[in-house]
Structure 1
Amino acid sequence: MKFFKVPEPTIMRLSLYSRILEQLEERGVPIISSVELGDAVGINSGVVRKDLSMFGEFGVRGVGYNVRELRDNIRKLLGQDRNWPVIIVGAGHLGSSLAAYPGFRQRGFDVVALVDTDPEKIGSTIIDKTVVSWEEAERLVKAQGIRMAILAVPADAVQAVAQQLTDLGIEAILNFSPIILKGPSKAQVQNVDLTVYFDLMRFTQNLNDNGLRPQASHTRGIAVR
């Protein structure tokens, strides 16, 4: 396998390809072309071929891609063929909602526990996850080799908590807190701010309300489980 820097948009599209291919596999579809896969994602077929060619030779010219084979290869590329233990830091409304999200387990992420500093929450159970202290979290990280964490703490605590996580050995942080996290140098950080997408929709609606026609995007939304 080739090792090189892969653009983030390519990795995000691989995730979309994976979900589409899973749906096709469930429906018993054996073959899909780059045009059909591109249409499903809302991109040009040339982008699909370029993305996949970065990782090897897939498919047969004039025939298409074997759905199951391509799905399995992308799953391996994304590490979806094994489970990844994760902790959620923050057992408030947001953290509790994230713990209840079934998509994490479906995509191979196993939420081991929630972490909080509130004595009244520590020891309680949210869904089927136990809320633990930082001391217990440190033990879990070491015992289970946890390398990923989800942040759902108040904005004023984000930076300090991120540093605590990297000190425990966490290498990747998904930040749902309402602030852009500048992650510690040793950690990969992804900031998730849903209000950005609401602003995108609001911007388009605002143009419509003012009699302007927004330019059509080169991509479109796609319904996925």
Structure 2
Amino acid sequence: MSQHRPGGLSELPEATVARLPEYLRALHGLAEAGHDTVSSEGLATAAGVNSAKLRKDLSHLGSYGTRGVGYDVALLIEQIEYVLGLTQHRAVALVGVGNLGHALAGYAGFATRGFRIAALFDADPAQIGEVISGLTVHHIRELPRIAAEESISIGVIATPAGAAQAVADQLVAVGVTGILNFAPCVLSVPEGVDVRKVDLAIELQILSFHEHRKAAAGSAGPTASLTALPGGMAGNGASGGNQEAVGS
């Protein structure tokens, strides 16, 4: 298999980067099952993508596989982990140890995927001093000291929405440049700080749409479209009004 470590990480397409963790998850599963090699079709099936897209993605990494053999699983894991920066085992600070925070703090899978939860924080006096998975919950005011001691570069926000922006500001102030936000709100951060938002309610709403669409198709056929929207909303675009929301 032809492989090299790409020098221009900034040139990787965002869509490819977004799929690499899925390939890595599938590869780890294959390795645990005892597979040394995998075909592009087999890896694509395990990752839930089509094989042509997978081959194109991996070609950006310099991985082309070997005809009749496929991809070396261990080497491909190593390469994807390098591209994703997982070989550095980045330290993560988790802020907010309510129900969700407890679950995240106790999740053992982070350590096997290149991360370590290095510190837990909260502002609730009732939570301070609690030990979760071997880590003591600190008051958020201790963030500057502990962030420096642990070289924390990523922050996870699992607070209520009303506290999330203040927490983000504090994380940015101590040099955190990557934030995973579980709070149901939009954060404002400086340029150079990356935010990924996880909103479970939004994901459920999208699933609800798909269920609604299937039910509508089953009851009225494929032509049952948006004409039944409340207030006749589906027909408003015909008058030449602003249709940005429809096309967004």
Code of the residue aligned with 2:17 in structure 1: it is I
Match of 2:216 in 1: 210
| Root mean square deviation of aligned Cα | 1.9
Cα deviation for residue 200 of structure 1 reads 2.1
Cα deviation for residue 52 of structure 1 reads 1.0
Match of 2:157 in 1: 151
Pairing 1:24–2:30 present: yes
TM-score (norm 1): 0.87
* Whole-Å separation in 2 of the counterparts to 1:77 and 1:149: 20
Match of 2:101 in 1: 95
* Whole-Å separation in 2 of the counterparts to 1:5 and 1:179: 30
Structure 2, gaps ≥5 residues long: 1-5, 223-248
Pairing 1:52–2:58 present: yes
Q: How does 1:3-18 map to 2 (within 5 A)?
A: 3=8, 4-18=10-24
1:187 maps to which of 193, 206, 211: 193
Cα deviation for residue 73 of structure 1 reads 1.2
Identity %: 40
Match of 2:238 in 1: none
Cα deviation for residue 62 of structure 1 reads 4.0
Match of 1:121 in 2: 127
Equivalent residues of 1:162, 1:184 under 8 A apart: no
Match of 1:176 in 2: 182
* Whole-Å separation in 2 of the counterparts to 1:28 and 1:95: 34
1:2 maps to which of 2, 7, 13: 7
1:136 maps to which of 138, 142, 145: 142
Higher percent of residues as helix: 2
Code of the residue aligned with 2:13 in structure 1: it is P
Structure 1, gaps ≥5 residues long: 215-225
Which digits, 9 at most, give the CA deviation of each residue in 1:6-62, with x for residues without a partner?
233212211111111111112222221212222222322121111111121442234
* Whole-Å separation in 1 of the counterparts to 2:78 and 2:30: 13
Corresponding residue pairs, total = 214
TM-score (norm 2): 0.79
Equivalent residues of 2:131, 2:137 under 8 A apart: yes
1:34 maps to which of 31, 36, 40: 40
Equivalent residues of 1:181, 1:191 under 8 A apart: no
> SS at the partner of 1:29?
coil
* Whole-Å separation in 2 of the counterparts to 1:36 and 1:114: 39
